[in-house]
Amino acid sequence: MSDSIDRLYQAVIAAKDLDPAISRTARLFQRGPAKMAKKLAEEAIEVVIDAVAGKSDAVVRESADLFYNLTVLWASAGVKPEDVWREMERRERLLGIAEKLPKSPVKLPKTAPVPVVRRRIVALENRLRKR
Ligand SMILES: N=c1c2ncn([C@@H]3O[C@H](COP(=O)(O)OP(=O)(O)OP(=O)(O)O)[C@@H](O)[C@H]3O)c2ncn1[C@@H]1O[C@H](COP(=O)(O)O)[C@@H](O)[C@H]1O
């Protein structure tokens, strides 16, 4: 999937300085981040509506529109896809570590200094399951 988004991002970068009369991307860059954000939000809502309605084909189409508008906003904000992939890999490693944390707090001998109470890292799926 990331290859497709990387290619889309390159296409968006290549299109942003084209004639706005023929390129939607150039038109979005001409109108600026607020318009880009509005389009992205609209697409996100369209994905939600179609998903709730059980229209999976429409979810596919609207998700492609969502990814397009997201890459446009990334480009405008100076974000590259690899920045996002790096953050996702960091979280994967972090959650991976969380998986290895003992489920119950570690029993420390009385003489040990009182540990700084940190928010226990709970794996994402556990958090979702508790909702
Ligand atoms: N991947 C996309 C892409 N996905 C979706 N869209 C556009 O986004 C629209 C979907 O948003 P909407 O549903 O809001 O469509 P709309 O209602 O007609 O739009 P508005 O009237 O609301 O502005 C589609 O109709 C497409 O025109 C895209 N436009 C361009 N790309 C790619 O971006 C690159 C640059 O293309 P140009 O912008 O055409 O130069 C190319 O590689 C294209 O393939």
Residue 131 DSSP class: -
User: What spacing in Å lies between the alpha carbon of 87 and ligand 1's midpoint?
Assistant: 27
Ligand 1 nearest-atom number relative to CA 25: 38
**Ligand 1 atom 31: residue of nearest CA:** 68
Separation of alpha carbons 21 and 81, rounded Å? 27
User: What spacing in Å lies between the alpha carbon of 35 and ligand 1's midpoint?
Assistant: 13
Give the tens place of pLDDT for each residue, 11-46. Answer: 999 999 999 999 999 999 999 999 999 999 999 999
The interface pTM score, or ipTM, of the predicted complex is: 0.88
Write out residues with Cβ below 6 Å of ligand 1.
8, 11-12, 15, 18, 23-25, 39, 42, 64-65, 68
Ligand 1 nearest-atom number relative to CA 46: 13
Predicted local confidence at residue 25, as pLDDT: 98
**70 class by beta-carbon count within 10 Å (0-12 exposed, 13-18 middle, 19+ buried):** buried
**Ligand 1 atom 14: residue of nearest CA:** 39
Residue 116 DSSP class: P
Give the tens place of pLDDT for each residue, 73-129. Answer: 999 999 999 999 999 999 998 887 665 656 677 676 676 666 655 555 555 556 555
**Ligand 1 atom 7: residue of nearest CA:** 65
User: What spacing in Å lies between the alpha carbon of 85 and ligand 1's midpoint?
Assistant: 24
Separation of alpha carbons 69 and 75, rounded Å? 10
**34 class by beta-carbon count within 10 Å (0-12 exposed, 13-18 middle, 19+ buried):** exposed
Separation of alpha carbons 115 and 49, rounded Å? 47
Kindly report the pTM of this predicted structure: 0.77
